[in-house]
Structure 1
Amino acid sequence: MASWEDLVAYVGQEYDVVREEPDEIRIKIGYGEDEYAPRRAQVVIIAREIMDRKEEWVQIATPFARVGQVDLRAVLTEIGNTTVVGGAVLMGDHLVLRHSLPLVNLDINEFVDPLELVTGSAELLEEQFTGRDDY
């Protein structure tokens, strides 16, 4: 997989796409799908970024809380102790877990594994720190 178009085609086949734009695709990943667990979902933004006007990168980002909803120090401590892929950033009023990858020579597992780790971690953080399922 070496192009944005290839990645978008793969994502479209494998995930529940909720919105698509030229340089961004949004998907929804569900959790707790068995009949005994409540269903939760996480929206993920996959965006094409151009670094230095020449290198294409893919950014995986998913919000998990609003800044005013959580103890920021506790959230960052938890991320530091438990998360191996991605980092927390502020985007507007939202806390977002995100990870970026160079697109050139990107193998599918180099995309899928971080996607699953970032999304799963954000889902756990959202549940732990807000008790809600807003994202």
Structure 2
Amino acid sequence: MPTELPAADFSFIYETGQREISESGVPAASAWAAKYGCGPRRQPKEIVDTKAGYVYDGSRQNPPNPAWGLLPAPGKAHVMAYENCKDGRVVADVVRLDKGHTEGLEPNITEELVLLMLSAKGGKLQQAR
């Protein structure tokens, strides 16, 4: 496991299912946020989905393993983005509530992740155009 962040500059969006991390949740501080001089992490923005995700691992359902992921179902996620990161970088933590690793990203949560990605400053390839 690396002990320091990579030297390259890029935005960092961490997404996880609540059941695949410890009960303490995501850390209160982020090394990525510190690297980019971000302000405080915003209060969780709740994203609600009434539709289940589409991609999941049905091969590990007998017996079910909640940390790995159950069958897809509607759900909620908390999106916690850090404010005012240097150079337009995006640093965020996304926790899908009552979900494991493979339960499928629900449509609204997927859309929110894409919007976060699109809000980030473009990289070297985009700037070369």
| Higher Rg of the two aligned structures | 2
Whether these two folds match at TM > 0.5 is: no
TM-score scaled by length of structure 2: 0.30
Structure number with greater CO (CA < 8 Å, separation at least 6) is 2
Structure with the larger helix share: 1
